[in-house]
Amino acid sequence: MKIYPTNLKKIALLTVIALFVAAPAWADVSISVSPDVPSPSDDVIITVSESGTFPNSCLPFELNAEFGSGVIDVEPVYNPEQLCTQALTENQYTLSVNVGMLAAGDYTIKFFSSTAGLVEKQFSVEAFNNEYAGCATYDFFNGILRIPDLTLGDLSYWLDFQIVGINPLVFVLVDIGDGESTEQSATLDFDTGVIFVPCLNVGDSYFSEWQILPGSASGTRIELIGYGYNDLFLGENP
């Protein structure tokens, strides 16, 4: 059988198409956290870099982060008005999202990429050093204000308050237990119903005053009525 030039062109074209279809998609996805080992006073920045064979020509313009129990789901956000070429496209991008300050503990970032599917990264937030031992803390991840030592007479209690109002700033008591006395002990003035917290660490160290709100059927609620920097007022009830 004779092979004519026209047939050679068809064979070459079909070979190229077959190679293109059979060629596997490639992907390179990396997730980084800054700082490398954050503390509860650091803003945590998550950066995602993705390159490879995308299903179309569209790329995300920002990242969205949603929080679960020890899990941070990071999702790419696309412009709905962007016109995309519906064809396999080699492309790349790098985007970051600031998830703010996180409580000490272990976290897993989950990112579902367009090129490689689910990609995960684990990281830890280290606890404060001894300078802040005994200080109250705010868990931005769960919205929990933890007072580790409220002294009532000879007894000490730890208390967890969960945020329920932003303006004014109001928290409701969700848990309580036996605590251990510390140098940063919070105190309750029974006459005024004010809890004085000498050390509240939310990046910087503050003192704070919380008014107990009476007559709440849903549990003990406290409202922030005053605060200040501890480098000026540490241990002093203003």
Burial 201-219 (b: 16+ CB within 10 A, else e): bbeebbbbbbbbeeeeeee
| Tokens at 54, concatenated | 């995308």
Edge-first strand listing for the sheet containing 105-113: 62-67, 71-77, 105-113, 117-125
DSSP 4-27: -HHHHHHHHHHHHHHHHHHSPP-E
The mean pLDDT value for 216-226 works out to 81
Question: Cα-Cα-Cα-Cα dihedral of 196, 202, 206, 212, to 10°?
Answer: -20
75-84 mean pLDDT: 90
CA distance 84 to 86: 6
Q: If we measure between CA atoms, which residue out of 59, 47, 56 comes closest to residue 87? A: 56
Q: Rounded to whole angstroms, how far apart are CA atoms 174 and 171? A: 9
Q: Which amino acid is at 104?
A: A
The pair of structure tokens assigned to 189 is: 């003035």
Q: Give the pair of three-digit tokens for residue 227.
A: 């605060």
Q: What is the pLDDT of residues 86-112, one digit of tens each?
A: 899 899 999 999 998 887 789 999 999
Cβ atoms 115, 76 nearer than 8 A? no
Q: What is the mean pLDDT of residues 183-205?
A: 88
Percentage of the chain surpassing pLDDT 70? 82
CA pseudo-torsion sign 151, 180, 171, 210: positive
For residue 213, the one-letter residue type is L
User: 0.75 exceeded by the pTM?
Assistant: no
pLDDT at 74 over 80: yes
Most confident of the ranges 41-45, 65-69, 153-157: 153-157
Q: CA 25 from chain center: how many Å?
A: 32
Task: Please report, for the chain, the start and end positions of each structural domain, with discontinuous segments joined by +.
Answer: 27-125, 130-233
Q: What is the mean pLDDT of the chain?
A: 82
Residue 26 burial (10 A CB sphere; 0-12, 13-18, 19+): exposed
Evaluate if residue 172 carries a pLDDT over 80: yes
Q: Tokens 């109250």 belong to which residue?
A: 136
pLDDT digits (tens, 9 = 90+) for 112-133: 988 888 999 999 988 765 567 7
> Taking 70 as the threshold, does the pLDDT of residue 24 lie above it?
no
